[in-house]
Amino acid sequence: MGRAVASAPGKTILFGEHFVVAGEPAIAVAVGLRARVEAVLTGGREIEVESRNLGLRASFTVGGDGGGPLYPVAVAAAEALREAGIEGGVRVVVDSEIPPAAGMGSSAAVAVATVAAVAAAGGVELEPGRVSELAYRAEEVVHGKPSGIDNTVSALGGAVLYRKGVGARSLEADFSPVSIVLADTGRPRNTGEMVRRVLELRDAFPEVLGHVYRAAGALVERAAVHLERGEFEALGRLMNVNHGLLSAVGVSTVEIEELVYRAREAGALGAKLTGAGGGGFIVALAWRESAGKVAEALREVSGRVYVAPVEAVGVRVEERDI
């Protein structure tokens, strides 16, 4: 029976979260924390899923319905079985370095790695773009109607300019002069719920919020230009403006503001919440030599702080025995 291991990175959104759901562009980068998935074809009728991180196991019937935290993994596996024309079931073991429920794209990275691992176990190596499309089906189970940015950047790696319904463009960027610092508010958040709240605000005040959305879109277009030119001071300033727009749509919190201001005061080029908000992580951009100082200032109030490089490698099949 075939066996394969695949991995995929988590992500942080540098610009445009929430506004991306309504069609504005966004920029995300893959970060150097990965989800690893082992898939072993069983020939049975079940998709068995084990998560080492969550300490959970569950079984699902191929093509059947389900629920619970491991069901999205089974959906990703089922998509890959169908795509690769594999008859029978699979056992999937997930091991992830990406903190869950933190806005770092852990569910998308797991879905992306699952699709790649299951297909590879059946002898099929899928293009990253196709892996992303199949993983999106699992993301719909987790988040409702996500924009698709998380699975896209996890599959492609590097920096990605993304527009829902249009697609992704990889941005040519040299991130070597800077580091990304991520700090946890300690409060988990629910992406689906935050997205619904923001859209409800937009629908309640369309003539006001329309300006905020268009400002966010213009900001992202401008940020893409600075990113490709390596103009990190400008990028940091735009991150701060983007944070203001996210506060305007109601997804910041006291804990987020404290982390954002600490990062800026400790010398970050820019800092903002990242992902859905309401909790989760903030992201700061800092010159490589200042990142330690920024991280130290954040550690005084945050239990989890990462200084992460931007990860150039997206989804990757690491081992295959077929």
List residues binding ligand MEV (CB under 6 A). 13, 17-18, 20-21, 103, 143, 146-147, 149-150, 191, 195, 275-276
Structure token pair of residue 23: 């069609």
Nearer to ligand MEV (CB atom), residue 124 or residue 161 = 161
3-state secondary structure 254-297: HHHHHHHHHHHHCCCCEEEECCCCCCCEEEEEEEHHHHHHHHHH
Strand order across the 281-287 sheet: 270-273, 281-287, 178-184, 305-308
**CB-CB neighbours of 65 under 10 Å:** 9
Tell me how far CA of residue 154 lies from CA of 35, 166, 278, in angstroms: 10, 17, 23
Q: Strands (DSSP E) along the chain, which ranges?
A: 3-15, 26-41, 46-51, 56-61, 90-96, 159-163, 167-171, 178-184, 270-273, 281-287, 305-308, 316-321
For residue 98, the minimal CB distance to ligand MEV (Å) is 12
Q: Is 65 assigned a catalytic role?
A: no
Nearer to ligand MEV (CB atom), residue 119 or residue 252 = 252
Nearer to ligand MEV (CB atom), residue 48 or residue 150 = 150
For residue 199, the minimal CB distance to ligand MEV (Å) is 10
Angle at 176 between CA 273 and CA 298, to 5 degrees: 35
The one catalytic residue among 65, 95, 150, 174: 150
Closest by CA position to 245, among listed 223, 268, 225, 267: 223
Nearer to ligand MEV (CB atom), residue 13 or residue 305 = 13
Question: What one-character-per-residue DSSP string does 8-38 give?
Answer: EEEEEEEE-TTGGGGT--EEEEEEEEEEEEE
Nearer to ligand MEV (CB atom), residue 90 or residue 285 = 285
For residue 145, the minimal CB distance to ligand MEV (Å) is 8
For residue 17, the minimal CB distance to ligand MEV (Å) is 4
For residue 190, the minimal CB distance to ligand MEV (Å) is 11
Nearer to ligand MEV (CB atom), residue 25 or residue 103 = 103
HSE at residue 69, side-chain half, CA atoms within 13 A, is: 14
For residue 108, the minimal CB distance to ligand MEV (Å) is 8
Structure token pair of residue 263: 């990062």
User: Phi and psi at residue 230, in whole multiples of 5°?
Assistant: 70, 25
State the catalytic residues: 150
